[in-house]
Structure 1
């Protein structure tokens, strides 16, 4: 009997994840409707990837000392032994917090100072080590005490951002060749795995840096570019709006996961930091895989029915088209775009990582009030992506970028004065989030306008390394300055100057020469 060769595992996988071919380049009415499933998949993926911006919800819990831990988490989670003693102390502490909140709503600075001093004195005299030992099972209690410095929390955040940006170079090239589906699917599995392992890492800073930062960031880097590249190719007729919508999920996801960790589900209160990581990891893996299965790539010459390509706006009429990554990185426009992205993104990432701590530690706001500002920042991050993407269709990505970074600079210079009340901090969060979100609509559009859409995944992957650099410089600078001076004021002023410099770069930025000039220059060289 002749045995037929069996297909290999890799061929079986290709058969499962292979994207269905399109019959022709002109979209039928059916395919025009089907392309909206790409947007659904993009939003599902980005909702989970955006959880990296929910990191601010964890920073205070990771820095809390034993007295703060005792009052911040579910006593059952902490191994309470004497519930009556705990409830009595907790009741007194809540009254002090209420007095502080009332003082913050008024204009009497002396009353506010008195309320803050009363809380500090209560922690020192009532929430003592001996009280903790008598009230809790200390071995269980210590599982929730991380005691990280502000700088350490920012190292984890920055490691995630750096891994995100660096892996996106590989992801962009891979998805340009293999399509977005398999790349996004692998990214979802790795992201979920990173958070699950982080949840099992106890209070170890090195393990959390590796699993939440590096592994989780790598998963985000694999998944992020896929829905953007697919959406831009399927929607050339509404590129700005769709790009903004596709990445809006990133900001909206941060809002959702901040709220799940805090006021909506109180996951950190009930399950602690590690338990919340485990829950998030499961959600990430399932949701990103489902979204990835909805992604596909249109034919190379695809055009929606009845659509004729318009002239690009905003000074991009003479841009070079469809440059390879190698050609792109040899243009001065790439490096100017990259530098502007470092400065603008670094500013926003610094605030995301420090705003909650700023509100609580410098402004004296409650944990809930500071968390609300982070949630609003995340929500407006998503809104800003849609609005700035839509505006770019009218004024061009470069002009929109100029306006955005100068608006952000204004808030950076005001931010040191915005932490004293819940309303001010909320306004600051909305403003910073709205403009920060614009980066992720405008820079991919600028990349497409300047260097073409054919190799957008690879080219934007190269541009996006700027995000990783900004993610290291901004948050770590803020954490270092705060640890040394106990204030973020200097860091905010530096960020304002960085935004001004980004605006100057954008003002002088112009598109590359057309492809024939690039070819001639290469031959002459």
Structure 2
């Protein structure tokens, strides 16, 4: 089906970026943590639980939202996600002085709101851009990595002016409205849609013309490719999330930086985290998902083995940590594209939701394992070798992972 009178598909990318810029402020928890500890006397362990819960319920929400979206379309799911997110922040402004209240408001409701809204623009954009899935997926998730770059300084200023609880309320109103509004603009293309001037890849010589088979979640989890992608994802994301969570203490130890200076390196890392998403997405459209994945793991290994252990200055540490962020950004662009390539787009929401649980697991295990190795061995360099080994394993798994055996229905020609 040609474009005809259909809307400009690039507008869906714009709405996706707006949504993700708001959703990415889940990562701004650190600006709230210290003031809350100071105001209410909480320990760092207690004040870290809301963020941990938000990561877990982000992944949980993805699974349920993906299934709902595949049945009802993206609008209602994205709008619901925006409302839940806004309510979570607003509730935090009312019960944020109570630790358990904050666990529910920010951790559970905030995480669920992000999970419901996050998957919708990705699945929508992938369906509108079958000709450039990697690039578009990267652009669609670019905002998530960049959102905290805007929200963190703005939120820090607001906290200084009006306090933590009122800042929660401001964030709730802004993010709730923007996500719900942008989400209400999403729509799927009609069945059989093809961009003008684009023709699906021609089958290899001697093979019949086929139409792509769309796997159900049950069929997907019965394939070895699902488990291979899941393991690749948890290793790829785990390395990056460990570095993100420990970037400041690593800078203090390795390069002898002051914490505020090391935080500047983390800010640069965030920029490259965002840039890595469209970059690796575009690379994968040119050389394939597998080789783009292997390239990302190579970047990890160079940073972890050659750059960071020798980072004695702010400049070298920033280069090393930014390389890690750049590679990490790639997983959030390539994994949705892998899922669409291997298992089709009809059930992409729920299928990617299940694969995304690897990211949720990585968000818990990656930082814990890295910190534990540092504590047991006494040096971050020892942790780097383990993380580099995980990246090497991910590269090998990517190399041996092939698309599922054809389950297509022969097209009538």
Would you call these one fold, judging by a TM-score over 0.5? yes
**Number of the residue aligned with 2:390:** 498
Residues 1:53 and 2:24 are matched in the alignment: no
The equivalent position to 2:39 in structure 1, one of 143, 147, 164, is: 143
**Number of the residue aligned with 1:158:** 52
**Number of the residue aligned with 1:284:** 175
Residues 1:172 and 2:148 are matched in the alignment: no
Alignment of 1:184-203 (within 5 A): 184-202=78-96
Distance verdict in 2 for CA 1:416–1:166, change over 3 Å: same
Deviations 1:6-38 (A, max 9, x none): xxxxxxxxxxxxxxxxxxx4212x42x532221
Let me know the Cα RMSD of the aligned residues: 2.9
The equivalent position to 2:194 in structure 1, one of 299, 303, 319, is: 303
Residues 1:465 and 2:361 are matched in the alignment: no
Distance verdict in 2 for CA 1:170–1:384, change over 3 Å: same
Q: Which has the larger radius of gyration?
A: 1
The equivalent position to 1:43 in structure 2, one of 7, 14, 17, is: 17
Residues 1:412 and 2:304 are matched in the alignment: yes
Distance verdict in 2 for CA 1:166–1:408, change over 3 Å: same
C-alpha distance in structure 1 between counterparts of 2:179 and 2:360, whole Å: 22
Q: CA deviation at 1:515?
A: 0.4
SS state at 1:514 partner: coil
Moved more, 472-481 or 173-182: 472-481
C-alpha distance in structure 2 between counterparts of 1:326 and 1:384, whole Å: 32
C-alpha distance in structure 2 between counterparts of 1:389 and 1:295, whole Å: 22
- Contact 2:336/2:352 (<8 A) preserved: yes
Q: CA deviation at 1:188?
A: 1.1
- Contact 2:308/2:316 (<8 A) preserved: no
- Contact 1:342/1:467 (<8 A) preserved: yes
SS state at 1:236 partner: coil
TM-score normalised to the size of structure 1? 0.70
C-alpha distance in structure 1 between counterparts of 2:48 and 2:11, whole Å: 36
Distance verdict in 2 for CA 1:516–1:321, change over 3 Å: closer
TM-score normalised to the size of structure 2? 0.88
Distance verdict in 2 for CA 1:411–1:274, change over 3 Å: farther
Deviations 1:362-402 (A, max 9, x none): 75534442332222222222211111111111111111111
C-alpha distance in structure 2 between counterparts of 1:360 and 1:277, whole Å: 30
Q: CA deviation at 1:281?
A: 2.3
C-alpha distance in structure 2 between counterparts of 1:232 and 1:436, whole Å: 20
**Number of the residue aligned with 2:274:** 382
Alignment of 1:116-515 (within 5 A): 143=39, 145-149=41-45, 152=46, 154-202=48-96, 204-262=98-156, 266-310=157-201, 321-360=213-252, 365-413=257-305, 417=309, 420-480=312-372, 488-515=380-407
- Contact 1:412/1:492 (<8 A) preserved: yes
C-alpha distance in structure 1 between counterparts of 2:92 and 2:270, whole Å: 23
SS state at 2:3 partner: coil
- Contact 1:333/1:509 (<8 A) preserved: yes
**Number of the residue aligned with 1:27:** 3
C-alpha distance in structure 2 between counterparts of 1:278 and 1:424, whole Å: 39
- Contact 2:307/2:316 (<8 A) preserved: no
- Contact 1:356/1:371 (<8 A) preserved: yes
Distance verdict in 2 for CA 1:509–1:382, change over 3 Å: same
- Contact 1:194/1:215 (<8 A) preserved: yes
- Contact 1:50/1:252 (<8 A) preserved: yes
- Contact 1:57/1:374 (<8 A) preserved: no
